[in-house]
Amino acid sequence: MTIDDFVEEGPLIKDEALRRIFENKNPYMVKTDSSYDVHANNLHFICTYSDEEIEMIADLCLELLEELRRINEAGYTKEDMLVAKTINRKGFEDFFDCYRIYETFRTERIENIIDRLGETTRVGDAYYLMVSKPTFISGICAVFDVIIGRFEDAELYFSALFMLIRVAMHMHCDELK
């Protein structure tokens, strides 16, 4: 199955992600009565969202993934990411790498989606600007780096969506060690 098959089927990919979330059909996110125990790469956290909030998060993450696909189809490549990453600012490489990359593909639409995710996950003000949004942007960069040039791979597309959902859920959570 290709990504075009998913696009033709409409919300099929989002519905499958939600089914796996709500029915505990994945090892990375376990739903209890009132919360989720989530793993996303090196993040492990607990968060509480209603089913409606999870659906909105999934919608927004799918919208974001489609915007990344449009950016890729418009000519943005993995090479563009690499060029942005290699700009050297002594002492700050790790912290600023992601932002230099993000600035090369950021659009007003992406910013709007991230802001709507912040509202949906109930974060705002300084916490949103200094913790939640930067962490989510880092997740976007990581996902885009993996999927860029490979959006037609339906399994990878699904994995990218699922990762974005988990990183978005991290915007309002309690970290676990």
pLDDT truncated to tens, each residue of the chain (177 aa)?
555 555 555 468 888 888 888 888 888 899 988 899 999 878 899 999 999 999 999 999 999 999 999 999 999 999 998 887 776 555 445 656 788 889 999 999 999 999 999 999 999 899 998 889 999 999 999 999 999 999 999 899 999 999 999 999 999 999 987
Strands 36-40 and 43-47: antiparallel
Q: Which two tokens stand for residue 74?
A: 């418009």
| Cα–Cα distance for residue pair 161/8, rounded to 1 Å | 17
Q: Among the residues of the chain, which ranges form H helices?
A: 3-8, 12-22, 51-73, 78-85, 93-105, 108-120, 125-127, 133-147, 154-169
The boundaries of the domain holding residue 143 are 3-175
Whole-model pTM over 0.85: yes
Domain tally for the chain?
1
Q: Which of 76, 146, 64, 143 is nearest to 111 (CA)?
A: 64
